[in-house]
Amino acid sequence: MTVTVDHKLPIVTPAFLFGLGHERQEGSSCRQLFVANFVSGMPRQVNHLRLALTTADCAGARQATQALKIASQMVGAEQLAGLIVGLDDALCGPAYEQDVVRLPKLAAEYIAPINRCARRTLQRLAAAPVPQWLDRADNPEQQPLLHGLDPIKLSTLGVEAW
């Protein structure tokens, strides 16, 4: 079975990006802080999921999928959340094989697509410009919404290691 990303879903919802840009312009940092935590925690969370699946730890895999799903949904990462929901459904569905066989197969099917989608999500969050009409006259340049988390710094968070 090949796992595919639903490209009808946005990588990151425009409403979340709009709110993030608006908060940046207003000087608020609540969403920026949450996104920064999402970005820095992503490699650890994906690794926890991979480890749980490859060692046939069903409870750990369920915990990891729930954590990734909730975090993805909270930052508007719809494609990533969709992949995680698919994995969660496969974990909760009928088991025709024992976990020691079934979970490593799920790891082989899902981990690579999740890694690719997570990379695209992190890049989108880091590169999202402030909508033009939100720019103030004193800040004419569009800067990434996550100023301080540019793609170069993402590599230091382990994004390239996936």
Would residue 42 count as lying in a domain?
Answer: yes
Assigned domain for 7 exists: no
Residue 162 resides in a domain: no
Contact (Cβ atoms closer than 8 angstroms) between residue 53 and residue 61: yes
Contact 139, 89 (CB under 8 A): no
Say if 74 falls within a structural domain: yes
**Which is nearest to 3 in space by CA: 99, 107, 75?**
107
**Within-domain flag for 101:** yes
Return the structure tokens found at 21. Answer: 């840009």
The number of folded domains in the chain is 1
pTM, rounded to two decimals: 0.76
Residue 77, in any domain of the structure: yes
pLDDT, one tens digit per residue, over 65-106 is: 999 999 999 999 999 999 999 999 999 888 788 999 999 999
Output the average pLDDT for the chain. Answer: 80
Residue 92 is assigned to a structural domain of this protein: yes
Residues linked to residue 144 through DSSP beta bridges, in sequence order: 129
Domain region containing 70: 14-152
Burial (CB count within 10 angstroms: exposed 0-12, middle 13-18, buried 19+), residue 96 = exposed
Residue 143 is predicted with a pLDDT of 45
The CATH number of residue 107's host domain is 1.20.120
Instruction: Say if CB 87 and CB 106 are below 8 A apart.
Output: yes
pLDDT digits (tens, 9 = 90+) for 126-143: 776 544 443 444 444 444
pLDDT at 133: 40
What percent of the chain lies above the pLDDT cut of 90? 48
Residue 158 lies inside a defined structural domain of this protein: no
Between CA 137 and CA 129 the distance in angstroms is 16
